[in-house]
Amino acid sequence: MSKRIFTVLMAAALLACAALPSLAQAAKVKVAFALLGTVDDRGWNTAHSKGIDMLKEQLGDQIELSITENVGPQDAERVIRNYAQQGYDVIFGNSFPHMDAMERVAAEFPKIKFEHCSGYKMAANMSNYFVRLYQAEYLAGYTAGLMGFKNVGTVATHPIPEPIRGINAFTIGLKKGLTEAGVDFDPKKLNTVVWMKAWEDPIKETTLAETLTGRGHDLIRQMADTPESSLAACAQGVPAVGYGTDAASYGADCVLTSTMVNWGPYYVATVKSVIDGSWKAQAYWGGFDKDGVRLAPFGKSVPADVQAKVKAEMEKLQKGEDHIFAGPITDQSGKVTIPAGAQANDGDLLGMMYLIEGVSGSIPQ
């Protein structure tokens, strides 16, 4: 072999070696998230951020990750389309207002995977995903009932099936707990609901919580994305139940517990399926059985025997034994919505637009 040929071959080999890192970089799966708010909102988006952290911890060396915060309805299509045009392999939108925009973009980019949280629309390349947060709501209500709370005030968000389902599940758990504790209660007035018509509004959250405590409600149920209503209740010396993330970690030390969302397992499993080529569009709705929902640690005021009973109920849900919406269940007017011997199916739950007996307040238009 001549020196010239040897030199050419060595140069080619060196160039190939130099290209290896860039090839490895190009092989990474590109993952994008559009978040409705900021990762530090202490609620909905913080919970998603924690799920993304789990994704980074487990698959960080296999993915290229991008996050855009404060993606409201007016920006959703632009942000999602921008990610698609950049060739991202899977794009997540974490809130209901992203749904229609994602559907439009998904139709234009059939080779890209799209994942929408809390919606109902699907396509061959677009999944929807959510968790059975109502299971945690039921357990929180059960906790409150076992402790004798029977005049709850709930600061609710938007009058759509998701919060309505949670209000009803909480009230079912509340009735169960009060009955087991042998506490007399008014079956028609256990849980008074006031509506913000917003996912978060710190001023409204605080004002409504203070109004409810001022009217003598013995427990405040937070349903907004931020812990302000729990914090306001604590400041008035009234216990609360948090939502989304652990309200106690933000200073609401009066909470009995908080209902929490755990997005990490779904994000890891979904991206793994993109990496190994097994991804298929699905409608996902996991609960305690999929580690999708959790209860925060109990507050100091929750007795050990109450904690034990709630944990026993939780273990049933972890095994997939979900009989929360088993009949007979009646609405506020006394109409039977789920007869004895029957149980609500997923369609019934996902479309729930009535409040059950025990809830005071109406569903605004």
Q: Residue 332: CB partners within 8 Å, gap ≥ 6?
A: 188, 354, 355, 356, 357, 359
- Judge residue 361's burial from the number of C-beta atoms within 10 Å of its C-beta, 0-12 exposed, 13-18 middle, 19 or more buried: middle
Task: Tell which wins on pLDDT, 258 or 43.
Answer: 258
Sign of the alpha-carbon dihedral angle for 97, 98, 100, 101: positive
Question: Are 267 and 52 a contacting pair, CB within 8 Å?
Answer: yes
Q: What is the pLDDT of residue 22?
A: 45
| pLDDT surpassing 70 at residue 11 | no
Report the candidate in 87, 88, 24, 29 with the shortest Cα–Cα distance to residue 58. Answer: 29
Q: What's the pLDDT score for residue 112?
A: 98
Q: Give the per-residue pLDDT at 27.
A: 82
Tell me the pLDDT tens digit for each residue of 278-290: 999 999 999 999 9
Rg (the chain; Cα; Å): 24
Q: Which amino acid is at 113?
A: K
Produce one character per residue of 343-352: b if its CB has 16 or more CB atoms within 10 Å, e if not.
Answer: ebeeeebeeb
Distance CA 154, CA 215 (A): 12
One-letter amino acid of 223: M
104 has pLDDT over 90: yes
Q: How many CB atoms lie within 10 A of CB 202?
A: 14
Q: What is the pLDDT of residues 306-334, one digit of tens each?
A: 999 999 999 999 999 999 999 999 999 99
* Residue 179: pLDDT band with limits 50, 70, 90: very high
Mean pLDDT of all residues in 7-34: 60
Among 21-35, 148-162, 302-316, name the one with the lowest average pLDDT. 21-35
pLDDT confidence bin for 8, thresholds 50/70/90: very low
CA 10/CA 27 separation, integer angstroms = 26
What is the model's pTM? 0.89
- For helices 202-214 and 228-235, angle between their N-to-C axes, nearest 10 degrees: 40
Mapping DSSP to helix (H, G, I), strand (E, B) and coil, where does residue 49 land?
helix
Q: Amino acid identity of 57?
A: E
The DSSP call for residue 76 is H
Residue 129, pLDDT above cutoff 50: yes
The mean per-residue pLDDT over the stretch 202-209 comes to 97
Counting residues of the chain whose pLDDT is more than 90, the rounded percentage is 89
Token digits for 93?
Answer: 């939108």
101 pLDDT higher than 90: yes
Mean pLDDT in the chain?
Answer: 93
Q: What is the pLDDT of residue 43?
A: 87
Of 117, 107, 118, which Cα lies nearest the Cα of 81?
107
Which tokens hold the place of 178?
Answer: 């009060």
DSSP one-letter code for 32: E
Q: Would you tell me how many other CB atoms lie within 10 Å of the CB of residue 282?
A: 13
Q: Place 175 in a pLDDT band, splitting at 50, 70 and 90.
A: very high
Give per-residue pLDDT as tens, 227-257. Answer: 999 999 999 999 999 999 999 999 999 999 9
Q: Which of 185, 244, 267, 195 has its CA nearest to residue 218?
A: 185
Nearest to 144 by CA among 298, 361, 27: 298
Of 304, 319, 320, 247, nearest to 42 by C-alpha is: 247
